[in-house]
Amino acid sequence: MTSTDTGTGTTGTTGTTVAAALALGDDALVLSHRLAEWAGHAPVLEEEVALANIALDLLGQARILLSMAGDEDELAYLREERSFRNLQLVEQPNGDFAHTIARQLYFSFHQHELYAELARGDGPFAPLAAKAVKETAYHRDHAEQWTLRLGDGTEESRLRMRTALDALWKYTGEMFQPVEGIDGVDWAVLEERWLTALTGVLERAGLALPEGPRTGAWAAGAGRQGLHTEPFGRMLAEMQHLHRSHPGASW
């Protein structure tokens, strides 16, 4: 296998560690790119800075994680769509601002709980998680505050937030499918904590948990298997365009 295949990692990493590093790294990389798309389009300058900072935090996490699996640039820019192992949730388009906040709310609450759990262990992801959990706490709080503002704002903002939450709900079940190589995590307990925290925020915002199944057109876990939604292919083409246009170039 080459370093762009999912079975190769840096010296000393096991195959399952590589698989887990790709899953977590791809989540961070793809969501970072999505958030960076807001540059020059955020509703206010303060939010421009906030979203950029979150995107940079995620990009930093992605670099560390992808480096555990191989060459970070090759993995980011030379893999084909089916080789990416990110959640389908993080690849969803930004949509309007409420849509972006709903995506952030679902994912940041999950990522914070997961990294807090990993930071308490002694596995290969503990050092990263110990640092990242501080970043994800900010990401979670940012999403929470905007959910409260939109949900408890105008009729228009409340409707947009409710619509976004409903639209993305079907992608949330995948977050709690066990990831090979991540040991010591009780995914059912993690999901319970996520639901409890999420319910509390939504109630304070005058909103409620969406109804309906939490799986999309494919079974939960499809993104981890390399099955992605249509918008991801377009995003990937844009993200990889420069690197693929100038192979082997030095910058």
Residue 68 placed within a domain = yes
Q: Residue type at 231?
A: P
Residue 105 within a domain: yes
Per-residue pLDDT of the chain (251 residues; tens, 9 = 90+): 333 344 445 545 688 999 999 999 999 999 999 999 998 888 888 899 999 999 999 999 999 999 999 999 999 999 999 999 999 999 999 999 999 999 999 999 999 999 999 999 999 999 999 999 999 999 999 999 999 999 999 999 999 999 999 999 999 999 999 999 999 999 999 999 999 999 999 999 999 999 977 765 455 669 999 999 999 999 999 989 777 777 776 66
Residue 140: inside a domain = yes
Q: Is 40 inside any structural domain?
A: yes
Domain limits at 34? 15-245
CATH of the domain at 200: 1.20.1260.10
Query: What integer pLDDT is reported at residue 3 of this predicted model?
Result: 37
pTM metric for this prediction? 0.91
Output the pLDDT for position 4: 38
Domain count, the chain: 1
Residue 7 located in a structural domain: no
Q: What pLDDT does residue 244 have?
A: 76
Calculate the CA dihedral of residues 223, 225, 215, 228 and round it to 10 degrees. 40
In a domain, 3, yes or no: no
Look at residue 152 and tell me if it is in a domain. Answer: yes
**Closest C-alpha to 64, from 122, 127, 7:** 127
Domain membership flag for residue 6: no
